[in-house]
Amino acid sequence: MSNLQSLSLYWPELILTVTVLLTIVVDLFYSNKESGRTAFWVLGGLILTQAAISFQDSAIVTTLFMDNLAFDPFATFFKSLIILSTILVIFISQRTHELDGYRTGEYYALIAVMVFGMFLMASAIDLIMVYISIEIVSITSFILAGYLRGDRRSNEAALKYVIYGAFSSGIMLFGLSIVFGLAGSTKFFAIQEAMWNLEGSANFAFTLAAIFILAGFGYKISAVPFHFWTPDVYEGAPTSITAYLSVAPKAVGFAVAIRFFNQVFGDGGSFIDPSLRTFTELPWPQLLAILAVATMTLGNLVAIQQSSVKRMLAYSSIAHAGYMLMALPTLSSQGVYAVMIYLVMYLFMNLGAFFVVIYVKSQGGGESFEDYSGLGWKMPIVGIVMTIFMLSLTGIPPTAGFIGKFYLFAAVIKTGPQLYWLAIVGAINSVISLYFYMRVVKVMFFEGEPSATVVVPPLAIMLIFMALAIPSVVFGVYWTPIANWVSQSLVLYTQVI
């Protein structure tokens, strides 16, 4: 579509752009104490954005702005997932004391800018657009990670994030440049067509570019060995931002990686015919399987050694990236379907666990396991919901986490005997994770002295807990709406050559 024609399908992003500008302008009229009210402007804009997405015709599958962005159900799915997680994180941010004393107008405006960047990532089908969108998300993430300017850990988190981000961005840009040099185009499908005619050294260069680009995407989803930034950044950043980084950017990182490798390094039709495979010299299934094993194993083994619940959840998020990577070696729609279902389940249980960390800290507690001693008796509601989140993250039925892992393992097993070993390693890792997740439950209910007083969270806190805990249980029993939604969203704009 031409630029002018594309505007008719670009309403959600236009509304989001207006929301960002309005938030910045309105914040100028608020005092420091009133600055938090800008959250409601962002919330309103996000709701309108989702309404615009819902009213769009899902049957339309096309490209926008001269083949720079794709308009398809796959992108729409991730946009809705981003909006849902952002709305929840904004509510969570309203209840954290970490931001007390800081002007938060810019905080919410930056979150809205990050949402815009993630929208572009989910839709990008052009190398330049991929890079620009990733940089928008990265730069806003750097600022938000270091938002607590008076906190040494937050400053350290931002600095490490910038250094690692710049390094991975440079590597990925080098890979993208090689692809452009070989293909003579930045458009996904033009590159795909050009790649079929490569021979000899050019094919080797293309394979090298694939490795560099994989490193860039691996950084976004915290895959080993590109994960080194994750623990320190997650620990030092405001906990609300840690929760957000562990869900939304990770989800859209998978989205752009799936679209890119299917449509550039693959044949563009692997969702149509699972027998079709990538034409590069790299053994992609084996490579992705090794990445998955390394990611989930390192994440779980190091999480066991942590004394901080927040840092444990940081390593846990690395392990969950490994579980999702486990489904990608299938190179089929089943694997992507499983990843998309898992991302929905993961959103609720992971945000819920981090919100418990925020609430406990706001009540005068800390982030170490010792601070959770006897919490189940002092704050029974908090103890119960945290138990739900821990069970779901482990993948124990009947929780949403179990259903998510069921689809991941099913996708791996259905691929055939060549990946049975990967399913076994994944199962062993799930058993390992049981130790540190249940350690939280053990500390809350079986350590410390019973409290004489019971703390009941305020209504607003209770509502957030329920909004996160109920789906974590209900989707473990009745997940048909999620399965149907994902099934309808598994449509990408493709050009099979």
Tell me whether residue 157 is in a domain: no
* Full residue range of the structural domain in which residue 315 is found: 292-497
Residue 415's alpha-carbon distances to 193, 328, 419, 422, in angstroms, are 27, 11, 7, 11
Q: What is the pLDDT of residue 255?
A: 93
Q: What is the pLDDT of residue 235?
A: 86
Are the C-beta atoms of residues 252 and 78 closer than 8 Å to each other? yes
Q: Which residues contact 377 (CB under 8 A, 6 or more apart)?
A: 383, 445, 448, 450, 451, 454
Tell me whether residue 424 is in a domain: yes
Tell me whether residue 117 is in a domain: no
**How many Å apart are CA 385 and CA 376, to the nearest integer?**
10
Q: State the average pLDDT for the chain.
A: 87
Reported as a single tens digit per residue, the pLDDT across 473-494 is: 999 999 999 999 999 998 888 7
**Which band of pLDDT confidence, cut at 50, 70 and 90, is reported for residue 281?**
low
Q: What is the pLDDT of residue 45?
A: 95
Q: What is the pLDDT of residue 265?
A: 66
Cβ count within 10 A of residue 276: 17
Residue with tokens 């080993």: 224
Q: Which residues contact 488 (CB under 8 A, 6 or more apart)?
A: 58, 73
Which of 68-82, 168-182, 258-272 comes out lowest in average pLDDT? 258-272
Q: What is the pLDDT of residue 271?
A: 46
Tell me whether residue 460 is in a domain: yes
Partners of 189 in beta bridges: none
Residue 280's alpha-carbon distances to 99, 193, 461, in angstroms, are 48, 13, 51
Q: What is the pLDDT of residue 297?
A: 94
Q: What is the pLDDT of residue 1?
A: 65
Q: What is the pLDDT of residue 42?
A: 94
Are the C-beta atoms of residues 67 and 187 closer than 8 Å to each other? yes
Tell me whether residue 441 is in a domain: yes
Tell me whether residue 342 is in a domain: yes
**Predicted TM-score (pTM) above 0.85:** yes
Are the C-beta atoms of residues 57 and 216 closer than 8 Å to each other? no
**Which band of pLDDT confidence, cut at 50, 70 and 90, is reported for residue 200?**
low
Does the structure show a pLDDT above 90 at 284?
no
Average pLDDT over residues 31-59: 90
Reported as a single tens digit per residue, the pLDDT across 397-408 is: 899 999 999 999
Tell me whether residue 197 is in a domain: no
**Percentage of residues in the chain with pLDDT exceeding 70?**
94
Question: Which two structure tokens, joined as six digits, stand for 54?
Answer: 């819902």
Reported as a single tens digit per residue, the pLDDT across 63-118 is: 888 888 999 999 999 999 999 999 999 999 888 877 777 888 899 999 999 999 99
Are the C-beta atoms of residues 290 and 421 closer than 8 Å to each other? no
Does the structure show a pLDDT above 50 at 458?
yes
**Which band of pLDDT confidence, cut at 50, 70 and 90, is reported for residue 277?**
very low
274 vs 70: which has the higher pLDDT: 70
Does the structure show a pLDDT above 60 at 280?
no
Does the structure show a pLDDT above 60 at 241?
yes
Q: What is the pLDDT of residue 274?
A: 43
Question: Which two structure tokens, joined as six digits, stand for 243?
Answer: 């929760």
**How many Å apart are CA 122 and CA 168, to the nearest integer?**
19
Cβ count within 10 A of residue 173: 17
**Total count of domains within the chain:** 1
Tell me whether residue 70 is in a domain: no
Buried b (16+ CB within 10 A) or exposed e, 323-336: bbbbbbbbbbbbbb
Average pLDDT over residues 117-140: 93
